[in-house]
Amino acid sequence: MKLPEAPPASLRLRIDRDALAANWRALDRLSGGARAGAAVKADAYGVGVDHAVPALLAAGARDFFVAHWGEVAPLLAHVPGEQVSVLHGVLNEAETAYARATGARPVINSLRQAALWLESGGGPCDLMLDTGINRLGIPPHEAGDPRLAALDVHVLMSHLASADEDAELNRLQLARLHQLAPTIPHRHLSLANSAGIALGQDYAADLTRPGVALYGGIARRELAGLIGQVVFPRATVLQRRRIGPGESVGYNAIFIAKREMEVATVSIGYADGFLRCRGAGFAMQHQGIDLPVLGRVSMDMTVVDCSAIPSLSAGDYVEIPFDLPAEAQRSGLSQYELLTTIGHRFSRQS
């Protein structure tokens, strides 16, 4: 049985590709003599690889970073594997075989990974030095191991722990990287993420790796005014109703009406990234008018006060505010969380 075309999605995510490309170009300019790459892990921070990568390529990006090997295949529809780095490295023979088949470069993070890569035949890879974040990477005391010198390192990199702050650790990590880099043969050096780019030319090295700023995040105050909003979510009104004084809304009746009011049930909930912490005190919008959220956010639905908009009815779309710095401040979520928790039920449109 051939199914008819699905009806229009009740959740829509408009992606401003022009803003995304402009953000990359701004970060590339700020990188000075270094070139900017692009972190596209977590499905391009929730934007969608198929929407983000073509825009980034058109802007000039050529170096792409993901975390998992499962993220490589979607990228190969747009770029050759040689332009992809996998940050988690290789843990077993299945991953080394996949790396060779796709051409993607593993980012070697330990002596065990270095040995595994060399035993599988070696070849181009990247290498992470841990200069102070203590997550993944070669610690300084292991940097002189001969197995690292035997690697064919394309990008030697480290990752800043506190680039969004004016922390002494930034300068310490930069110094450690420059101290260790001469001990390991490599073609390119990389340190700065989005916030690191804003720290200045000393941190740019040969290649920067912006992530959240590409998608509208303001990682440091220096980027304000240079980075534009990329993601614009909308959700459909499912029902409008009138409630009276004393009636409650949603689970656990945490909102009780003090007056007669009009409320609308909107087709978005925590399964779509509209988490419970964006409940009471938050508002959606329609035609520039706020629609305050009432009660608890449910998995698939959220109720708003629509008394101020008599014309709002079932089938209309409302806007979900998504200025990342502002929404992060209001919700207590990070800008990264706001982006990467966007659900898969959105129809992504450019």
For the question of residue 251 being annotated catalytic, the response is yes
Is there a contact between 181 and 156 (Cβ–Cβ < 8 Å)? yes
Q: What are phi and psi of 302, to 5 degrees?
A: -140, 140
Which candidate in 98, 251, 258, 317 is catalytic?
251
Q: What are phi and psi of 64, to 5 degrees?
A: -125, 140
List C-alpha distances in Å: 90 to 20, 114, 123, 328.
31, 9, 13, 34
Q: Cα(42)–Cα(36) distance, rounded to whole angstroms?
A: 19
Is there a contact between 195 and 219 (Cβ–Cβ < 8 Å)? yes
Is there a contact between 173 and 164 (Cβ–Cβ < 8 Å)? no
Would strands 11-15 and 347-349 be described as parallel, antiparallel, or unpaired? parallel
Determine what percent of the chain falls in helix, strand and coil, rounding each to the nearest 5: 35, 25, 45
Count of Cβ atoms closer than 10 Å to residue 169 Cβ: 15
For the question of residue 2 being annotated catalytic, the response is no
Question: Residue 243: which H helix or E strand, with range?
Answer: strand 231-243
Provide DSSP, 263-331. Answer: EEEES--GGGT--GGGSTT-EEEETTEEEEEES---SS-EEEE-TT-TT--TT-EEE----HHHHHHHH
Which candidate in 41, 45, 98, 270 is catalytic?
41
Q: Cα(190)–Cα(21) distance, rounded to whole angstroms?
A: 21
Give the chain's radius of gyration (CA, Å): 23
Q: Cα(20)–Cα(16) distance, rounded to whole angstroms?
A: 6
Residues carrying an active site annotation: 41, 251
